[in-house]
Chains A and B, each alone.
Chain A
Amino acid sequence: VCQFLAHCQSPTGGFAGGPGQHAHLAPTYAAVNALCIIGTEEAYSVIDREKLLDFLWSLKQPDGSFVMHIGGEVDVRSAYCAASVASLTNIMAPKLFEDTTNWILSCQNWEGGLSGVPGLEAHGGYTFCGMAALVILGKEHMLDLKALLRWVVSRQMRFEGGFQGRCNKLVDGCYSFWQAGLLPLLHRALFNDGESELSRQWWMFDQQALQEYILLCCQNPTGGLLDKPGKSRDFYHTCYCLSGLSIAQHFGNMEHYHEVILGKEENRLAPTHPVYNIRPEKVAQAVQHFRRLSVPDSSRQAGPSADSEPSEPASPSAGPQS
């Protein structure tokens, strides 16, 4: 896996979907997480940190947002992917996330949730990305947390038990993580805000109902998990149904820890880190490893805007050299 991911790494930094393709923040996020899960020296050393920082700079926009790839679209996923990999690998250059906080905040709308870009409807995937990014940047208190809480708890379906991605849409297993995963983040943020009425045992959603939905409705009998009954299995839903199941099973903060395991003992999953969605031990281990290295000194500041040519004289065409 390490070797394959090394082949997916672009010479100009970041990871692509496959060898020879252009780097993109989504596979970059996934690759860094995968390498941190593996957690060996070999895995960590696959990541070219200097180039990764260059890559992030090349995607940065003047308004604080990031494009998903050179020549690509802007939305709040990119801020999360960038913040996630930068914080794990210790390449958070000063000013890298300048204005990003304000841009993310502008994605929160009257519904309480966040949209992909300012002006669209609130959506679970984007809301998670925005909030988690702000948590990494230490700015989550700038959101209207109460409005966000009200929005996300309204997304759990009273009949199915799972979560919908947006108001008036159908339930989908993957939102078991994107939506339910907001509650641990909100719990901590509200606690830090001085909120005194927080539970010491439960997240603010129906954990049992979510587990029921996932276990009873989202499993393929031949293995793997899915969106809803009738849909086919895929790795994305398998990942996020399981991540959501873990969130639903484990309540925990600094002092308190409480489990709710629906069904057999064997159903217990390992806890997952609510920001990065890999095991907390893996996060700690990676952070510890990369902290020993210094933040790369990148002379490059924020790159050109999404559609123009890169400024490097050696490569006249847009995008990385093959």
Chain B
Amino acid sequence: KQHGRVKVKTTAQQEEEKRKEREKKLKIYVAARDACFSKRKDGVFDEEALQLTQQLLSSNPDFATLWNYRREILMHLETVKDKDEVQKIYEAELLFLESCLKVNPKSYGSWHHRGWVSARLPRPDWARELSLCDRCLSLDDRNFHCWDYRRMVVKMSGVPVKQELEFTDRLIGSNFSNYSSWHYRSTLLPLLHPESPEATSQCGDPPHSSSPPSPQTHFHRVCEEQLLKEYELVQNAFFTDPNDQSAWFYYRWLLGRAEREEMISCVYVSREGERVAVAFSRPVNAQSAGLLLVLDGQPQRVEWQSVHPHFKHSPVWICDLPPGTISDITNEHNLTVHWTEKHTHRDCALYTGRSESWCRDTATDLELFRYRFLHICSRYCKF
């Protein structure tokens, strides 16, 4: 304060001060950069070079040339220092990288350099690296740089798949935006079950057809027990938040894991709705499939509708029965759905006193799961 009045800067003055500040910073930066380039040109790989590059990379970790130079310096130091000194140098490097990643966790340069350092450390501490990934992912579990780094750490240190699955359990439980975690799970699940080798390793030659197997139908089979647990997990997710895209996309992928043969997976019938829902092991076209519904020995005239009104192919088809045919709860009925194109069929018995039923010839848990899924479809699909 001067003479009782506060001296206030005008906007123009503030702008000017900012500009001078920026210019000052730029001068320092350019001087450091030029010093780096000139040192490198002279083939100098000393402490000062490390200092200079550190200074610059702290504010600009995307300066790839400087990471390259830093690697040259470190490789040179490896040749003139002993193993313990090298260990210390690289540990200091890891600390430096951590501070870089705190500022910008998405810099290609920083992550790549960290991977390079970890591979060169005489005594790498993979547990510490994993913990870094844990922390980084707890802040942003969609950071693919970190997921990629994590995969490397897991591979180098032999972390068990089960442990990684537990990690994703924690992440999925705590974070809303958890698609990367589901995705990571999708890569872990098949590893638990080596019964499903890739097509390539099986026949020795790379598959050479004009239409290679779609990545969606890749032979990443997962065993039934594991699958059911996974279904539960992801159903919990979308029942908690039906608007979470992740769970639905992952679910869709999961549904493809178990199916092997071409068959009618399940038939569901509802007395109240007077409706039959049929699930297939793959999308079919009801017309060309030759779907036939037989009720108590009598073929029924029904109109099959897919759950996706505009799609001619659907894994689920639904039809309404003529009114009154099954509404009396004191009557038992026997239903058969024929997939005439594939010469296969499924029976379903609707017992007295029961308002609904699903095929029960093999009452595995998977069947129960399919019934529940069909029930959901049948209730929520409106025509």
Check A167–B186 contact: CB distance below 8 A. Answer: no
Residues of A within 8 A of B91 (CB): none
With an 8 A cutoff between CB atoms, is A21 at the interface? yes
With an 8 A cutoff between CB atoms, is A3 at the interface? no
Check B64–A24 contact: CB distance below 8 A. Answer: yes
- Taking residues whose C-beta sits less than 8 angstroms from the other chain, chain A's interface range is 35 or more
Closest to B243 in A: A168
Task: Given the known inter-chain contacts A20-B37, A147-B214, please indicate yes or no for A120 contacting B68, CB distance below 8 A.
Answer: no
- Segment 1-49 of A: residues with Cβ below 8 Å from B: 16-17, 20-22, 24
Check A121–B212 contact: CB distance below 8 A. Answer: no
Check B64–A117 contact: CB distance below 8 A. Answer: no
The stretch among A58-66, A220-228, A235-243, A314-322 that forms the contact with chain B is: A314-322
C-alpha spacing A322/B72, complex, angstroms: 15
Residues of A within 8 A of B249 (CB): 111, 154, 167
Give the Cβ gap from B45 to chain A, nearest Cβ, in Å.
9
With an 8 A cutoff between CB atoms, is B162 at the interface? no
Tell me which of A68, A71, A108, A144 contacts B71 (CB under 8 A).
A71
With an 8 A cutoff between CB atoms, is B331 at the interface? no
Closest to A121 in B: B183
C-alpha spacing A163/B69, complex, angstroms: 38
* A and B contact pairs by CB, cutoff 8 A, 15 listed: A17-B63, A22-B65, A22-B68, A24-B64, A69-B68, A71-B67, A110-B218, A111-B249, A111-B253, A112-B216, A116-B144, A166-B179, A317-B72, A319-B65, A319-B72
Task: Given the known inter-chain contacts A68-B108, A110-B216, A307-B116, please indicate yes or no for A22 contacting B64, CB distance below 8 A.
Answer: yes
Task: Given the known inter-chain contacts A24-B64, A116-B144, A167-B245, please indicate yes or no for A322 contacting B37, CB distance below 8 A.
Answer: yes
- Segment 141-171 of A: residues with Cβ below 8 Å from B: 142, 144, 147, 154, 166-169
Flag A63-95 by CB within 8 Å of B: 1 or 0 each.
Answer: 000001111110000000000000000000000
With an 8 A cutoff between CB atoms, is A53 at the interface? no
Check B64–A21 contact: CB distance below 8 A. Answer: yes
Residues of A within 8 A of B144 (CB): 115-116, 120-121, 123
Q: Which of A's residues lie within 8 Å of B, judged by CB?
A: 16-17, 20-22, 24, 68-73, 102, 105, 108-112, 115-117, 119-121, 123, 142, 144, 147, 154, 166-169, 307, 317-319, 322
C-alpha spacing A121/B182, complex, angstroms: 10
- Segment 27-67 of B: residues with Cβ below 8 Å from A: 37, 40-41, 43, 63-65, 67
Residues of B within 8 A of A110 (CB): 186, 215-216, 218, 220, 253, 256
Give the Cβ gap from B238 to chain A, nearest Cβ, in Å.
12
Q: Which of B's residues lie within 8 Å of A, judged by CB?
A: 37, 40-41, 43, 63-65, 67-69, 71-72, 108, 111-112, 116, 142, 144, 147-148, 151, 177-180, 183, 186-187, 206, 212, 214-216, 218, 220, 244-246, 249, 253, 256
Check A144–B216 contact: CB distance below 8 A. Answer: yes
Beyond A72-B112, A110-B256, A167-B246, 16 additional contacts (C-beta under 8 Å) are A16-B65, A20-B37, A21-B64, A22-B68, A68-B108, A71-B68, A72-B68, A110-B186, A111-B249, A112-B215, A112-B216, A144-B214, A144-B216, A166-B179, A318-B71, A319-B69
Give the Cβ gap from B266 to chain A, nearest Cβ, in Å.
23
Task: Given the known inter-chain contacts A24-B64, A319-B72, please indicate yes or no for A117 contacting B148, CB distance below 8 A.
Answer: yes
Give the Cβ gap from A206 to chain B, nearest Cβ, in Å.
16
Residues of B within 8 A of A318 (CB): 68, 71-72
Most buried by B among A24, A117, A167: A167
Check A120–B216 contact: CB distance below 8 A. Answer: no
C-alpha spacing A307/B67, complex, angstroms: 12
Tell me which of B112, B147, B215 contacts A109 (CB under 8 A).
B215
